[in-house]
Amino acid sequence: MRTKNPFQLISAFFREIILFAGKYSFGKPPAHGIILVTLVTRLAFLPFTIKSDHITRKMKVLRPEISVIGQKYRSAKGTISAELQPKMHREIMELYRQENINPSFGCWTVALQASFFLLIKYTMRSAKNDPRFTSGGILWFRDLSKPDPYFVLPVLTTILGLATEWMQIPKDKEQDEQQRQINFIRQLTPLTTGLSMLRLSAGETLYMTVSAAFEVIQYYFLTKGGKLPLSSSIGVTVITPLAANESSEEKL
């Protein structure tokens, strides 16, 4: 008898969770189970997501002060020597410590969500011969192990992703060139994600669509409908380059 590897055991167990959730929530189709499991997971991740968003906003507000630190170690040629880079890094990390910011926290949140998506992905691929999943779809996608035949879910996910990015992008009128480039790249991310979804199974794309809808609602409240300013009431005192120069002149 062939022994199953850990991934097969985990995916088999997760398939049963999806089937159980579908049976005792909205109905019997596994698609309903994917929807419920996705919502429960996103709610479980919500406290981490809110904290990560809070840290990200604080880091953006501190960007002018970090720029001041960089200017202090920059030479006349506009470069920072290898000897001074560790010292500059320590000063930036000390600034983060004073503001109670953990820069790596957001990475852990993304890693958790990515791990769950990989679990969904592996589960759907291992269920391609399971009749409960090959006929467990809803509406126009009946087979959860095959791509959405009309690409409705990828398109819907792309639209929801663009809406989320629009709400997250700062509405400050004065933005430097670097920030504008970052915003442009962020707006392209949902488009590339939508294209990559065209070959994914309907079960995977259903998870991503429900997650994208959850994020729209989540960031609507976090950003007050996309109107939250970049430096809104998050308890950070910003020292701009101009303010730093004026402070230095006063000391002189």
Averaged over successive runs of 10 residues, the pLDDT of the chain (252 residues) comes to 66 77 68 87 87 81 81 70 78 84 79 84 80 76 84 90 79 63 77 85 88 88 58 38 38 37
> What pLDDT score was predicted for residue 94?
85
> What pLDDT score was predicted for residue 26?
56
> What pLDDT score was predicted for residue 238?
36
CB 45: neighbour CB atoms within 10 A? 18
Which bin fits 74, alpha (ψ -120 to 50), beta or left (φ > 0)? beta
> What is the rounded CA–CA span in Å between residue 179 and residue 187?
12
CB 127: neighbour CB atoms within 10 A? 24
Contacts of 14 (CB under 8 A, 6+ apart): 119, 123
- Taking the domains of the chain in order of start, what are their residue ranges? 6-62+99-251, 63-98
> What is the rounded CA–CA span in Å between residue 92 and residue 87?
9
pTM of the full predicted structure? 0.72
> What pLDDT score was predicted for residue 210?
92
